[in-house]
Every structure is written in structure tokens, then in C-alpha cells.
Structure 1
Amino acid sequence: MQLPKPSDEIKDLFRSVVPDAPGVEVKPMFGNLGAFVNGNMFAGLFGPTIGIRLLDEASTAELHAIDGTGPFGPEERPMGGYTSLPATWNTEPDRISAWVQAALEQVGQLPAKQPKPRKKAQ
């Protein structure tokens, strides 16, 4: 499977909509970017597409009702629990920011992800 590569412009947009908040970090993931809070991913970039993770059913239903949203990630295997934001929003950073902020607030309520122990070499 060939993973799409994001342009520098979409990477800059993604970084600009991720809040500068305690526990938040943006990390590279398979040539794309992911935004994490306390080790849990709340937003991601997959090629030209920004996706978010919402935990609240009402927020998820509201987002899914918007034209242009859909599964996030590879078409063959989208990421469960994540929704892609409409591509038309890529010129509306304030609109993206509002949804990314909602994702941060919801995912930020999860317990911090514990690092997996390293396997010992045999």
C-alpha cells in the first residue's frame, strides 16, 4: 500500500490548527503527522486530509452530518474512531481549529497512554 505524502502547505496548516497546550505534541507518523495529548492521538494528517477523533456520540453525529466528512486513513483500512474533515475546509483554518480543539478536549480526558515495555534481545 502506497501512503500519500502531505505537501508542506498542508503540514503547515495542520501544525497551525493544533493547539499549543500542555501535553500536546505533533509527531511524524509514516511520512504524515499525528497530534497527541498524553500519548493519545486526537488528530492526524494523511496526505492532504486532516482527521480527528471524537469520543462524544453527539459531536460525532454532528460532524458526520456535514458533507465531505468520511473515513480517515487508507481506503482499504480506515482508522476506527477517526473522521476526515472536508477537504474544502483546508482554506478555513478557524473551522478546522474548532473541531481539532473539540477532539483535544475529548481525547484529553482519556488516561495517559503508558509506553510499551521494550522487548529484550535474545
Structure 2
Amino acid sequence: MRMPRPTEEDEARFRAAVPEDPRVEIRPMFGNLGAFVGGHMFAGLFGSQLGVKLPEDELVEVRAAGGGDYGPPERPMGGWITVPEGVDPAGLVARAAEYVATFPPKPTAKRR
């Protein structure tokens, strides 16, 4: 599978949607971008798709508003959904950040 790449406009849209919060880190992920809190990714770009990680009940709500599977079509990411057209991406991204902030922090990887 060839990894889709975001455009500069996609990256700008992503960065504008991510909350300014000292806990948040944006970093590259396989040629795309991911936003993290405590080592957990809560929002990401997959080509032009902006996806968020939300609890199951909120996934149902966003899917009803037009959200779809996030990630490669042959292997979408569980617990993730794309931000549908016409929905405020900043609001969903902020909800996703608060959701993953409830997870215990991931331990930092030891360098060899």
C-alpha cells in the first residue's frame, strides 16, 4: 500500500484544529501528522483525512453526522473516525484530546 500524503493546506487545517495546550505534541507519522497527549495519539492526518479518537458513544454520533472509517481502507483504525464535512474540526479534535488525556501516560521508550 502506498501511504497518502497531505497537502500543505491539509497540514495547515490540521494544525489550526489542534488545541494550543502545553500537553499537546504534534509530530510526523509516516509522512503525515499526528497530535499526542501523554504519548497517546488523539488526532491525525492520513492524506487529506483528518481523524480523531473518541469513545464509542461519540463515534456513533459522529458517524451519524457523516464521519467514516479512518486510516487505510483495507485496515481502518479501531476507535477512530474521520471528521465529516460541515462539522467543526477544532471541536472534535479538542474532544479527542480530552478523551485521551484520561489515559495513563505511555512510558517513554528507552534509547539504545
Q: TM-score range by the shorter chain?
A: over 0.9
Which residue identity is paired with 1:22? P
Hey, what does 1:20 align to over in structure 2? 20
Hey, what does 1:70 align to over in structure 2? 68
Hey, what does 1:81 align to over in structure 2? 79
Hey, what does 1:42 align to over in structure 2? 42
- Structure 1's unaligned 5+ residue stretches are none
Separation (CA, whole Å) in 2 of partners of 1:78 and 1:60? 14
Following TM superposition, where does structure 1 have runs of at least 4 consecutive aligned residues deviating by more than 3 angstroms? none
Hey, what does 1:112 align to over in structure 2? 105
Separation (CA, whole Å) in 2 of partners of 1:17 and 1:70? 18
TM-score (norm 1): 0.85
Report the secondary structure of 1:59's partner residue.
Answer: helix
Q: Aligned-pair distance for 1:60?
A: 1.9
Report the secondary structure of 2:97's partner residue.
Answer: helix
Kindly provide the CA deviation profile for residues 13-72 of structure 1, in whole angstroms up to 9, marking residues without a partner as x: 1001100112101000010000000110000000010000002x33222111112x1110
Hey, what does 2:29 align to over in structure 1? 29
Which residue identity is paired with 1:116? A
Kept in 1: contact 2:59–2:79 (CA 8 A) = no
Q: Aligned-pair distance for 1:81?
A: 1.1
Report the secondary structure of 1:73's partner residue.
Answer: coil
Separation (CA, whole Å) in 1 of partners of 2:6 and 2:59? 25
Separation (CA, whole Å) in 2 of partners of 1:22 and 1:112? 15
Hey, what does 2:58 align to over in structure 1? 59
